[in-house]
Chains A and B, each alone.
Chain A
Amino acid sequence: MTILSVLFAAFLPFQCHAAPVKDQCVICHATLGDSHQAILKSFSRDIHREVGLSCSSCHGGDSSSDDAGQAMGAEAGFVGAPTRAETPKFCGKCHSDPSAMKKYNPSLSVDQEVKYFTSVHGKKLQAGDSKVAVCTSCHTSHSIRPAKDPSSTVYSKNIPQTCGKCHSDAKLMGSYKLPADQVAKYTGSVHGKALLERGDTAAPVCNTCHGNHGAVPPGVENIGHVCGMCHAHNEEFFKAGPMAKAWEKRKFHICSTCHNHHDIQHPTPALLSSDNGVCRKCHLAGSAQSKAAGAMKAKVDEIEGSYKAAEKSILTAEEKGLDMAEARDLWDSARMSLFQAKTAVHAFRPEKVAEAADPGIEATAKARKSADEAVHEFGQRRVGLGIASLFLTLLALGLYLKVRDLESGQG
């Protein structure tokens, strides 16, 4: 068994802190069954292992001694595996120590532990609730990878799943009187689709809005800033517009009142509908505000409709192998107008929406005309080819008959 364990340790790509010749932790624990071997295997790819740390770097003890009592004795500084309540401070031994972190990653911040204890998770942990997330809940214990590594549990595309381990657990969330549908809602949202279907890793994920180590629900005052990190113009227009004060007075969440939060959908003109749009939550049908919403909807409908129609015409032309480069350019410029018109809605002034939309409507009309003309010409060419073929057939037939006629005349 000893020979086997030495061989196992030799094949593990494992180097210990201060580079000892052999790591007695690995040699012994490799013989203790599958669960121990799984830990050793996981740790072989852990970022801590890659920078030269070993079991004893975190757990203490003497990794050079083959005497279990000595290796894992209090005198050797052995601390063993921390409880969940002990975990933040356990990791914080190094991660909150600037001089320790400088040796391995000087650019990594050392405020994770401090932030953690400002989070809902951290506060509950301090209050004695050991069910809440601690460092290892998100980062794992022995398979920790940098956040930019796609195999990391905290890589942006993996974060919904990581947070969902707890936040999609209805029983666990029920004990906190919290819903467990946030991840499901996010997955179907415009942001979730951008991240998970299109692979746009710039799309916001749980920690973009809630923070990571200091995770808290964004408050009423903060949510506009959170969305405004990316949707800067929307925030700017809204705050300069007539609704800002009303929102503040009623303590409405700036963005989520109309767009929801986890299940934010791609905004359509239907949001402005005078029948069942979001404006109708407060404004009566027929009111000046409702009419303004209707006017904005009409303009956004117009540019969206002309944009889609132009795209259809361009695609039709391109399917026939026609070069639509110029029409595509016009269509691209209209896309900006469409975007700007939708953004301008947040100013709640129909004229501002029209100002943004009109150049795009003009561009899409030109693009559509160009594509339709190209398709028309393509059709004309086919008709021309048909007519030319008909004349050729007629000529051949005439020649055939003429030859026969001449031959019969000679006979």
Chain B
Amino acid sequence: MNRRQFINLILGGGALGCLASAVYPVLRYMMPPEQVEADPDSIKVGSVKDFPAGSSKIFKFGRKPVIVIRDLKGGFHALNATCTHLDCIVQYQKENDIVWCACHNGKYDLSGKNVSGPPPRPLDRFEVKVSGEEITVVRTA
């Protein structure tokens, strides 16, 4: 290989490499990324018949768990499901019609107010909208 051929090889290799370095990120950009969960303002959680009186379900509202409760009288409530004491996930206790944290026996009423045990503050509330049969949980202002 003479000097000129060597120079051409460096030039050609460098050009090809630069082209590939430019094309590869473009191609990666065009490929759909893994779905990242957005931070929504509302989520649909099902229909009224999915929630018999005295039942509850936990949903992801963006990144945070939200507990949707249908109380014994048929009313709907939605609360942040993360206990304000040490971040455990709360649950609905049908027998006492309260929200309960199993970790340290913290209790909240259905409006989210901390009523007993260690929780230092209430659970954040969400609005529940019932439109026909469909239930939507909406972030409160």
The answer to whether A and B assemble together is: yes
Q: B3, A387: Cβ atoms under 8 Å? A: no
**Interface: B49 (CB within 8 A):** no
Known contacts A233-B102, A336-B89; A394/B63 CB under 8 A: no
Which of A388, A391, A405 touches B7 (beta carbons < 8 Å)? A405
- For residue A10, which residues in chain B have a CB less than 8 angstroms away from its CB? none
Q: A395, B15: Cβ atoms under 8 Å? A: yes
Which of A200, A336, A395 touches B17 (beta carbons < 8 Å)? A395
The CA of A391 and the CA of B17, in the complex, are separated in Å by: 5
Which of A202, A228, A329, A335 touches B118 (beta carbons < 8 Å)? A202
Question: What's the least CB distance linking A367 to chain B, in Å?
Answer: 13
The CA of A335 and the CA of B36, in the complex, are separated in Å by: 22
The CA of A316 and the CA of B4, in the complex, are separated in Å by: 49
CB closest residue in chain B, given A329: B63
CB closest residue in chain B, given A397: B10
Q: State which residues 1-50 of B face A: CB under 8 Å.
A: 3-4, 7-8, 10-18, 20-21, 24, 36-37
Question: What's the least CB distance linking A399 to chain B, in Å?
Answer: 7
Known contacts A202-B118, A325-B37; A332/B7 CB under 8 A: no
Which of B14, B20, B105, B117 touches A398 (beta carbons < 8 Å)? B14
**Interface: A245 (CB within 8 A):** no
Q: A390, B105: Cβ atoms under 8 Å? A: no
- For residue B16, which residues in chain A have a CB less than 8 angstroms away from its CB? 391
The CA of A228 and the CA of B102, in the complex, are separated in Å by: 11
Which of A202, A326, A392 touches B119 (beta carbons < 8 Å)? A202
Which of B21, B85, B87 touches A388 (beta carbons < 8 Å)? B21
Q: B105, A232: Cβ atoms under 8 Å? A: yes
Residues of B within 8 A of A (CB): 3-4, 7-8, 10-18, 20-21, 24, 36-37, 60, 63, 85, 87-89, 102-105, 117-120
Residues of A within 8 A of B (CB): 200-203, 228-233, 323, 325-326, 328-329, 332-333, 335-336, 339-340, 343, 384, 387-388, 390-399, 401-402, 405
